[in-house]
Amino acid sequence: GENVEQHPSTLSVQEGDSAVIKCTYSDSASNYFPWYKQELGKGPQLIIDIRSNVGEKKDQRIAVTLNKTAKHFSLHITETQPEDSAVYFCVSGGGADGLTFGKGTHLIIQP
Amino acid sequence: NAGVTQTPKFQVLKTGQSMTLQCAQDMNHNSMYWYRQDPGMGLRLIYYSASEGTTDKGEVPNGYNVSRLNKREFSLRLESAAPSQTSVYFCASSAYPGQGHTEAFFGQGTRLTVV
């Protein structure tokens, strides 16, 4: 089955700085790569997604990049704010068997 | 908008007891999923259902059964609970296969403790 590796497991940045989370996947048939944010006590929520026919996508302070050849994708958050503190998951989606999650990155924004 | 509703929110079971986790979605989605979340492990797929009347095993199905009662509801049953099933359980739904994979919507989770 699909395997998604996510790094780092914990990331601490100063408020206003940028944060980058990186993931790799194994299944070359995967074609959908969403990122989810999970706040304490809540279910994951989609923040941005990218499909395999696109190399980069941006939504305000959040951007994702995808390198299908290398099977890498990354999340970039600029001008981080306290409300960005949460756990972030990269996800790979291919066939009918749902979405495969990375193990998560705990992002801490230091004031 | 209710989205995905899970019940109960919290549950404590004794080893060997059984229980059913309920999930319902009001978005007319085809696919529904059950995940478990353990510290440092991300979310792992237990079972999924791509349409009413069909169910398939995910990564960690042992010890669980599911029922896709109708398009709205997808339940997860623990027949004989074990301490290893202590976890947070999430139900999700998506429009897949529709136009391919799209956003999956998650419930608030059920925190289950087996003692």
Tens-level pLDDT at each residue, chain A (111 residues): 789 999 999 999 999 999 999 999 998 888 899 999 999 999 999 999 998 888 999 999 999 999 999 999 999 999 999 999 999 999 998 765 678 999 999 999 999
Closest Cα in chain B, distance from residue A91 (Å):
10
> Residue B6: in which H helix or E strand, if any?
strand B4-7
Is residue B99 pLDDT above 90, yes or no?
no
Residue B21 has a pLDDT of: 98
Burial zone of B23 (CB within 10 Å; 0-12 exposed, 13-18 middle, 19+ buried): buried
- Measured between CA atoms, the residue of chain B closest to residue A2 is B59
- Measured between CA atoms, the residue of chain B closest to residue A94 is B101
Chain B CB within 8 Å of residue A29 CB:
no
Nearest alpha-carbon partner for B6 in B72, B70, B61: B72
> In whole numbers, what is the pLDDT of chain B averaged over residues?
93
Of B31, B42, B108, nearest to A101 by CB-CB distance is B42
Q: Which residues contact B18 (CB under 8 A, 6 or more apart)?
A: B77, B78, B79, B80, B81
Q: Which residues contact B14 (CB under 8 A, 6 or more apart)?
A: B81, B114, B115
Residue A95 has a pLDDT of: 64
CB contact under 8 A, B101 and A1: no
Residues pairing with B13 in the sheet: B114
